[in-house]
Structure 1
Amino acid sequence: MKSFKQLKGLVFPLDRANVDTDAIIPKQFLKSIKRSGFGPYLFDEWRYLDHGEPDMDCSKRPLNKDFLLNQPRYAKAQILLARDNFGCGSSREHAPWAIDGYGFQVIIAPSFADIFFSNCYKNGLLPIAAPAAMVERMLKESLASEAYYLDVNLEAQTVTLPSGDSFGFDITPHRKHCLLNGLDEIGLTLMHAEDIKTFEVKHRAAQPWLFSA
């Protein structure tokens, strides 16, 4: 998993509340568990005018010009800004896979669905719960701007606006440590590989009958 420390990124304003995981990545794309290749299908039913299916060449599909993410000014956005209850619906981990695959690294909203919030950390995304009034301000400013950038500093736990104003955000020490060091659950386990090997040797010696053919 990639590490995250600081990002000055372009904002994509998604002015919607209750964005569920089926909108983030529709159910027909859940057949794969590879964690990769989902970026082109992010917000599939909003971005395209046809029905999406796995393995389609999205470069040839008709775009919905009314959906803001299809505008050239948001092509390299790395920060997703939305309203309340982002990521509600099912527990599918494909949702953060699709967001990460598109190129977003940070999601800011007033509130998140609990399972989606946890799944973001497991996949290297930083979800930030921001005050509703601040989200309202950032949405208005970003929609009125051709290029609206935020500076997200995980070590300082701050988000700085173009005006220079900033706000802090909460994150548990464990999650912060994992993001800063690029550690998912597998990475955390592998840090104890030698201890695990030592335990296995002792376990085999103490109870050899468990390992006999």
Structure 2
Amino acid sequence: MEPIKFIETKTVVLPRENVDTDQIIPARFLKVTDKKGLGKVLFCDWRYEAGGAPKPDFVLNRPEAAGCRVLVAGDNFGCGSSREHAPWALVDYGFQAVVSTRIADIFRNNALKNGLLPVVLDPESVRKLLAAPGAQVRIDVAAQTVGLPDGSSAKFPIDAFSKYCLLNGVDELGFLLDQEASIAAYEAKRP
């Protein structure tokens, strides 16, 4: 994983509520174990016609979405099943953070383990972001703040361990491996 300290980008706005993991990545794409390539099927049923042509009115198919690394969504993002492929697809597409008023617990945990920052903000801050598609934002992971388009900022919660992992670009296994010397020293002192 790459460290995430700051995210400075324009936003993509998906003002839908209760976006479940089957909408993020339909079940027919869950047969793979490789994360690469899942970004092209992100929101597949909303993004493409039955024949595979892109729907021009879907937000990710618009030119202004190119290069945006923050997705702002309606309430209750990532609900539904626990598929880890959902954050894989978002990260493979290029997103580094998802912002909502509520993010489902299992999705949030899967996102954090895969280098995707789930940002829960107060309803007024999310309303401001939803009303300003393409707005420039700055997320500071260490300070746990999002700089909003009107110049204000909003705080978001994140547990200390997940914050450490994101800031240092390590997952849980990487964290344990980084402790190898301390573990060996401890074990060497045991009778």
TM-score w.r.t. length of structure 2: 0.93
Offset of 1:65 from its aligned partner?
1.3
Secondary structure of the structure 1 residue equivalent to 2:10? strand
Offset of 1:197 from its aligned partner?
5.8
Work out whether residues 129 and 149 of structure 2, in 8 Å CA contact, stay in contact via their aligned partners in 1. no
Distance 1:165 1:195, change over 3 A: closer
Gaps of 5+ in 2: none
Match of 1:188 in 2: 175
Match of 2:136 in 1: 149
Letter matched to residue 20 of structure 1: D
1:42 pairs with 2:50: no
Secondary structure of the structure 1 residue equivalent to 2:132? helix
Match of 1:9 in 2: 9
Offset of 1:85 from its aligned partner?
0.9
Specify the structure having the higher radius of gyration (Cα): 1
Match of 2:76 in 1: 85
Secondary structure of the structure 2 residue equivalent to 1:18? coil
**What percentage of aligned pairs have identical amino acids?**
45
Offset of 1:141 from its aligned partner?
2.0
**How big is each residue's C-alpha offset from its partner over 1:35-87, in whole Å with a ceiling of 9 and x where there is no partner?**
22211110001111026xxxxxxxxx311112121110111111000011100
Of 188-197 and 124-133, more deviation after overlay is shown by: 188-197
Task: Identify the match of residue 120 of structure 1 among 111, 114, 127.
Answer: 111
Q: Aligned partners of 2:5 and 2:88: how far apart in 1?
A: 20
1:21 pairs with 2:12: no
Secondary structure of the structure 2 residue equivalent to 1:98? helix
Q: Aligned partners of 2:45 and 2:174: how far apart in 1?
A: 34
Match of 1:159 in 2: 146
Q: Aligned partners of 2:150 and 2:123: how far apart in 1?
A: 18
Q: Aligned partners of 2:142 and 2:94: how far apart in 1?
A: 21
Q: Aligned partners of 2:147 and 2:38: how far apart in 1?
A: 30
CA RMSD of aligned residues (A): 2.0
Offset of 1:134 from its aligned partner?
1.5
Distance 1:162 1:133, change over 3 A: closer
Distance 1:202 1:37, change over 3 A: farther
1:129 pairs with 2:141: no
**How big is each residue's C-alpha offset from its partner over 1:148-179, in whole Å with a ceiling of 9 and x where there is no partner?**
11111111111112221111111111111111
Q: How many residues align?
A: 191
TM-score w.r.t. length of structure 1: 0.83
Gaps of 5+ in 1: 52-60, 207-213
Match of 1:55 in 2: none
Match of 1:64 in 2: 55
